[in-house]
Chains A and B, each alone.
Chain A
Amino acid sequence: MAEKIGVYVCHCGTNIAQTVDCKRVVDYASALPNVTVAREYQYMCSDPGQELIKKDIKELGLTRVVVASCSPLMHEPTFRRAVEEAGLNQFLFEMANIREQCSWISENKEMATERAKSIVGAAVKRVEFQEPLDVKKVPVNPNVLIVGGGITGIEAALQIADSGKKVYLVEKEPTIGGYMARFDKTFPTLDCAACILTPKMVSVGQHPNIELLSYSDVTGFSGYVGNFTARIRRRAKYVEEEECSGCGLCTEKCPVSVPSEFDCGLGKRKAIYRPFPQAVPNVPVIDKDHCLYFTKGVCKVCQKFCPRGAINFEQKETYIDLQVGTAILATGFDLFDASKVKQYGYGRLPNVITSLEFERFSHASGPTGGKILLKNGQMPTSIAILHCIGSRDTNFNEYCSRVCCMYSMKIAHLAHEKTGARVYEFYIDIRAFGKGYEEFYKRILEEETTFIRGKAAEVTDVPQTPAEKGKLVVVAEDTLLGIVRRVPVDMVVLSVGFEPRKDTIETARIFSISRSQDGFFLERHPKLAPVSTASDGIFIAGACQGPKDIPDSVAQGAAAAANALSLIDRKEVTLEPTVAFIDEKSCSGCKICLGLCAYNAITFDETKKVSKVNDALCKGCGVCVAACPSGAIEQRNFTDNQLLAEVESICAAGK
């Protein structure tokens, strides 16, 4: 029996109608074989628009529906729901994208209309071959995996754990806290970072619903929404976490001293160390590369002195598998490497430091006990803060790192407070967009900071005048005055921008998520779904999604938690049934497909001598379908017949 197809061409206001002659498309569709009715309407996605479809299904007995409007990535779920409500299986519906990939890309009305006809024709031909499919419902595991224990991960973890669900918080470093633990004060309130962070860190460490896996990373992630398996590598700390009381005696006694990463190499730590005193968990780790026992087979002083016998040199790295229903990635960022911009002399000229190094100097527990000091041990009398290092720069990163203007001004304030030095800010624009930010800018202006509008061209130690001798000279064009200035200072602070972490590529691969042009994780929609990804059940939050300050990071951490909880509380999720299936009668047992599945979803039945697809594991990529030389594998809703129908229609339309 012939199908009865309904075709609905949406105007989308003027978005489509302005360029595509919808009436012509409707006329064209009406004349296609098996099309019972073709209509046009202003906004098909609206209630009256959807009613049109439902009415026609009921009254005209439509067996297939095509809506020509926006992208299926936009409204496919909307129309599928509408069609189901009218009693027609949602997979007997197809969308023709005549907006994002037609009306919006062409100014030539004739060509756009012809293209729209071609697209609609292909959808009409395809939908005839579509068959009803049942969605699969799967239960959702209420456990949540959170990767990254910075402020974002901590926020998400506490929200979820407080709701009663179990959280696995995996952190690469020996302690949680992230970058925020290294800051001195935070803008615009000048809160002490540690004061607001450490209580939260302690809550995480003590929360009955949070299992903190520190000094660990995710090496594998498989499964599907609601049912993921995460493989975690627990690196050997050589200290038994349950035994250690955090007394710190081992650290005191250790004879080896090396540069501290936490202090940007400006201070020292021992071979057995905690990154900072308020570390959570408050358990030291042994740095194998510098420990005398591991490198030379001697010492073991820490073990000798440990009152709890917590040191275990035989401890091994282990792998564990966790079953979770959702994952939140809060892996944070890296700072731009200032040595790449040679003209500022970072790494070459003394007293050219980065913003983070300034934070460490300023921090009471930092390498200088909170004093801002030059290499020669004296306090600077003048400091230049250079904005946009590595950001807004076609040579490095084109994006703005969002936080640097504010932290630069914070540094200016701290510099005034601690040194009384003359402070210069070399800026391009001042971005003070947040709550209290503009007011903070005003305050810094009032503190007599000198703002020079011009990105610094170079920092040099070659003097041109007696006043410049022994100083670092910042050369910049003052664009407001219209002259090139040379400003001699004692210390230069480079406001380095944010970058995606180096391991972002690997992480993206493990979790099968995409990255944006700039390398940060890609959100599902920049406005409407900023913490979701295209992969159901995997969320992103904080700086790993893009540069942002602490308020926004916390907001995203909470948002991701809400998303995860929403999924969990649904109790079950639906899986797209667009999986592969093998027709046993056609399968010749050639095994061509077996090795092609990235998810090991295909197995061989030795008795029947045919291959089988496990549709719980199949993710519906279609790779095996294209390879099968017997044509025995088909992909539901992407069958050969359906795709061939589209090809034939498009080719015919071009004639």
Chain B
Amino acid sequence: MESNFEPNIVGFLCKWCAYTGADLAGTSRIKYPPNVTPIRVMCSGRVDPVLVMKALSSGADGVLIAGCHPGDCHYTSGNVKTIRRFKLLQRMLTQFGIERDRVRLEWVSASEGERYAQVVENMTETLRTLGPLNWNGSKEA
């Protein structure tokens, strides 16, 4: 494992909470590793497991799904569906041999800039230790 490995993390952030919270981290000039490239969605409930699998199989080292805290979803219960899918997806990804820490579901409210920075920092550090996923490398004949 290279010592200067920088994890490439795909992030799915819901516009109302997580994306706004992530913006707040920036507005507050909080410094944290820029390893997550955010994809904005209206609700974490839009995140189809297919998108997560696509990211992992296309070279991402990890996927972060961030939405509103349970009970605070802008669309009432979108994040409940996210949890439902995530729990089953986690089971399946574990079966595939993908470490649990690589795909994370976190709740970040619109006012939690500090928390978003911590989540990203934490995830980046963990993935640095786990190393690159290199999923395409697994598909040998």
Q: In the complex they form, do A and B come into direct contact, defined as C-beta atoms under 8 angstroms apart?
A: yes
Tell whether, in the assembled complex, residue A578 and residue B42 are in contact, meaning their CB atoms are under 8 Å apart: yes
Return chain A residues, CB-CB under 8 Å to B49. 626
Residue A3 at the chain B interface, CB threshold 8 Å: no
Give Cα distance in the complex from A643 to B19, angstroms.
16
Question: CB within 8 A of B46: which of A72, A638, A654, A655?
Answer: A638
A window 81-122: CB within 8 A of B: 97, 99-102, 104-108, 111-112, 115, 118-119, 122
Tell whether, in the assembled complex, residue A623 and residue B81 are in contact, meaning their CB atoms are under 8 Å apart: yes
Tell whether, in the assembled complex, residue A622 and residue B41 are in contact, meaning their CB atoms are under 8 Å apart: yes
9-residue interface stretch from A131-139, A504-512, A604-612: A504-512
Tell whether, in the assembled complex, residue A625 and residue B51 are in contact, meaning their CB atoms are under 8 Å apart: no
Interface residues of B, CB < 8 Å — how many? 54
Specify the chain B residue showing the minimal Cβ separation from A642: B39
CB distance from B96 to the nearest CB of A (A): 17
Return chain B residues, CB-CB under 8 Å to A621. 42-43, 45-46, 74-75, 78
Tell whether, in the assembled complex, residue B34 and residue A106 are in contact, meaning their CB atoms are under 8 Å apart: yes
Residue A412 at the chain B interface, CB threshold 8 Å: no
CB distance from B65 to the nearest CB of A (A): 11
B window 31-88: CB within 8 A of A: 31-34, 37-43, 45-51, 54-55, 58-61, 68, 71-72, 74-78, 81, 85
Return chain B residues, CB-CB under 8 Å to A71. 19, 23, 26
Tell whether, in the assembled complex, residue A105 and residue B30 are in contact, meaning their CB atoms are under 8 Å apart: yes
Knowing A638-B41, A643-B41, say if A105 contacts B74 (CB, 8 Å).
no
Scoring A residues 613 to 644 as 1 if CB is less than 8 Å from chain B, else 0, what string do you get?
A: 00000011111011100000001001010011
Knowing A101-B26, A104-B26, say if A514 contacts B16 (CB, 8 Å).
yes
Return chain A residues, CB-CB under 8 Å to B55. 647, 650-651
9-residue interface stretch from A193-201, A390-398, A457-465, A515-523: A515-523
CB distance from B60 to the nearest CB of A (A): 5
Residue A535 at the chain B interface, CB threshold 8 Å: yes
Residue B110 at the chain A interface, CB threshold 8 Å: yes
CB distance from B64 to the nearest CB of A (A): 12
Knowing A115-B37, A651-B59, say if A514 contacts B117 (CB, 8 Å).
no
Tell whether, in the assembled complex, residue B48 and residue A640 are in contact, meaning their CB atoms are under 8 Å apart: yes
Tell whether, in the assembled complex, residue A647 and residue B39 are in contact, meaning their CB atoms are under 8 Å apart: yes
Give Cα distance in the complex from A653 to B10, angstroms.
11
Question: CB within 8 A of A622: which of B23, B27, B43, B117?
Answer: B43
Question: CB within 8 A of B22: which of A101, A108, A512, A651?
Answer: A101
Tell whether, in the assembled complex, residue A115 and residue B34 are in contact, meaning their CB atoms are under 8 Å apart: yes
Return chain B residues, CB-CB under 8 Å to A299. none
Give Cα distance in the complex from A517 to B49, angstroms.
30
Question: CB within 8 A of A623: which of B27, B39, B75?
Answer: B75
Tell whether, in the assembled complex, residue A622 and residue B45 are in contact, meaning their CB atoms are under 8 Å apart: yes
Give Cα distance in the complex from A654 to B23, angstroms.
22
Tell whether, in the assembled complex, residue A105 and residue B31 are in contact, meaning their CB atoms are under 8 Å apart: yes
15 contacts between A and B (CB under 8 A): A105-B31, A119-B38, A122-B37, A514-B16, A515-B111, A517-B111, A596-B81, A621-B74, A622-B41, A622-B43, A622-B78, A623-B46, A638-B41, A640-B50, A654-B60
Closest 9 CB pairs of A and B: A654-B8, A622-B46, A100-B26, A623-B45, A651-B58, A104-B26, A621-B75, A651-B59, A626-B48
